[in-house]
Structure 1
Amino acid sequence: MATDDLTIVLADDHDLVRAGFRVILESEPGFRVVGEAADGAEAVHAVRAHRPDVVCLDVQMPNVDGLEAARRIAALPDPPAVLVLTTFDHDDALFQALEAGASGFLLKNASPERLIDAVRTVAAGDALLAPDVTRRVISRATAAPSAPSTTRGDDALAAAGLTDRETDVLRLLARGLSNAEIATELYVGEATVKTHVSNVLQKLGLRDRIQAVVWAFEHGVAGNPA
């Protein structure tokens, strides 16, 4: 068994759902399901035991739900990427999942190909920021009652100390592009993009790419999502 397999833990309270996801994911070369859980507490235990690259979490599970499990997993040392899977498309679930530290949010009626792509995306350190999800994240963030930033545009970028290339990366993040897509757009390697993304997050004092997208829109340094 390859040591560089992408490892996955599945957490869902329905045995048939987990079995279906396992079949789909293990049909992809290099994907390996290393653990399963029927509730959130078991999911946290499985993550501690197996140290996977990705954990796929159902939202509605008994005892400890997926959102609380996501919070506990995010607090672990070197946590895996968290992909939240659900049967409903409610904004509250979406934003609670993102706030809990999830890297992505996918409906269970997505195609097998979409599930495989989603797992690969979050494992690579990218967030699932489809344009419609981006718009909803921005709408929610900018509708918050906190005082708006008075520093905008070039002033905000200068204050943060972002380089021109880091600014380019931030704007492409705000369009929902993955690291691979940004690399193609800027004619650089993915490793270089990852370094720029890390620098952007550090300089802006942000937790993840989703917060970077919100920051870009709040400060007027990104266009509307496509």
Structure 2
Amino acid sequence: MGPKRIQFMLVEDDGSIIDGLTRYFQDRSYQGYDLELLGYSRFGMPFLDMVAAQKPDIAIVDMGLPDIHGIELAKRIRALPDPPQILFLSARSDCLDYEQMIQAGFLGYMSKTSIFQLPQALLSLYQGKPWLDPEVLRVMFDRSQKAQRKKITVYTPQPAPLSRREEIRQAITPGQRAVFDLFLKGIKPKQMALALGIKVSTVKSHLTHIRQIIGFSTLDELRDFLAE
């Protein structure tokens, strides 16, 4: 029986990253798996043809390609027969790419500042597990904490009325607020759990508590109420 092997391909328009990864993955293994870079491209559409022809286990897709957005390319790759797992690369640190990826149903994301963790990410996706960049999760957590600590003082005789969303946010715990904020963006419970590092059952418990606070029997009723 031959060695276990993870074969992957890369689409990335930054030549320095291509050169660095090409050198790094020459005769590289991780936890008993040979990691083999089959090929790369700097443009998305030629890469789609390469993936269809060579059928790698994993396709690493840069979010910011010159000819097509990374998520759109990934959707086309996912439509291929027997498609590979997708790992997104992003240079952004504001988490916007990450949120777009979650909403599109993909669960492999890495910022370019964490590219040294690529072997771990490849193995995780090869085994069918999600890979969510710890640095991006930290940024999201820090951003949520700062928003919760921020206090706004209104120097008027009559304080401005709170919106329905703010009334709910003030009535719930910090953990429930994090779930509520993702709910407002249309994120599903499973993706919320992955993004926040908690159980799906915990997410559902938070949503039930939020719904019951204002007397609704379903999340659809809550969503309609907030849309008014």
Q: What TM bracket, shorter-length normalisation?
A: 0.5 to 0.7
Q: What is the DSSP-based 3-state SS (H/G/I as helix, E as strand, rest coil) of the residue aligned with 2:110?
A: strand
The amino acid across from 1:52 in the alignment is P
Task: Give the TM-score of the pair, scaled to structure 1.
Answer: 0.59
Shift of 1:132: 3.8
Query: Contact conserved, 2:95 with 2:140, CA < 8 A, in 1?
Result: no
The amino acid across from 2:19 in the alignment is A
Counterpart position of 2:126 = 123
Larger Rg: 2
Q: What is the DSSP-based 3-state SS (H/G/I as helix, E as strand, rest coil) of the residue aligned with 2:67?
A: coil
When the two chains are superposed, the root-mean-square deviation of aligned CA atoms in Å is 3.6
Counterpart position of 1:184 = none
Matched, 1:66 2:70: yes
Structure 1, residues 69-104: CA drift from partner, whole Å, max 9, x if none?
A: 111112223221111111112332112123334331
- Change in Cα spacing, 1:111 to 1:63, as seen in structure 2 (3 Å) is closer
Counterpart position of 2:19 = 19
Counterpart position of 1:216 = 201
Query: Contact conserved, 2:11 with 2:42, CA < 8 A, in 1?
Result: yes
Counterpart position of 1:48 = 52
Q: What is the DSSP-based 3-state SS (H/G/I as helix, E as strand, rest coil) of the residue aligned with 1:18?
A: helix
Structure 1, residues 118-160: CA drift from partner, whole Å, max 9, x if none?
A: 11111111112445488689565322369x99xxxxxxxxxxx
- Change in Cα spacing, 1:111 to 1:40, as seen in structure 2 (3 Å) is closer
Work out the CA distance in 2 between the residues paired with 1:219 and 1:93. 25
Work out the CA distance in 1 between the residues paired with 2:8 and 2:89. 14
Work out the CA distance in 1 between the residues paired with 2:181 and 2:78. 22
Matched, 1:76 2:91: no
Work out the CA distance in 1 between the residues paired with 2:139 and 2:86. 17
- Change in Cα spacing, 1:110 to 1:145, as seen in structure 2 (3 Å) is closer
Greater RCO between the two (CA within 8 Å, min separation 6)? 1
Work out the CA distance in 2 between the residues paired with 1:96 and 1:145. 11
Counterpart position of 2:5 = 5
- Change in Cα spacing, 1:62 to 1:9, as seen in structure 2 (3 Å) is same
Shift of 1:3: 7.1
- Change in Cα spacing, 1:144 to 1:6, as seen in structure 2 (3 Å) is same
Work out the CA distance in 2 between the residues paired with 1:139 and 1:22. 43
The amino acid across from 2:131 in the alignment is L
Work out the CA distance in 1 between the residues paired with 2:55 and 2:26. 18
Structure 1, residues 44-63: CA drift from partner, whole Å, max 9, x if none?
A: 21210111111111111111
- Selected match of 1:144 from 185, 210, 214: 185
Work out the CA distance in 1 between the residues paired with 2:205 and 2:118. 33
- Change in Cα spacing, 1:57 to 1:145, as seen in structure 2 (3 Å) is closer
- Among all aligned residue pairs of Structure 1 and Structure 2, give the percentage whose two residues are the same amino acid: 22
Counterpart position of 1:160 = none
Work out the CA distance in 1 between the residues paired with 2:201 and 2:139. 15
Shift of 1:38: 1.1
Work out the CA distance in 2 between the residues paired with 1:215 and 1:50. 36
Aligned residues: 163
Task: Out of 34-43 and 53-62, give the one that drifted further.
Answer: 34-43
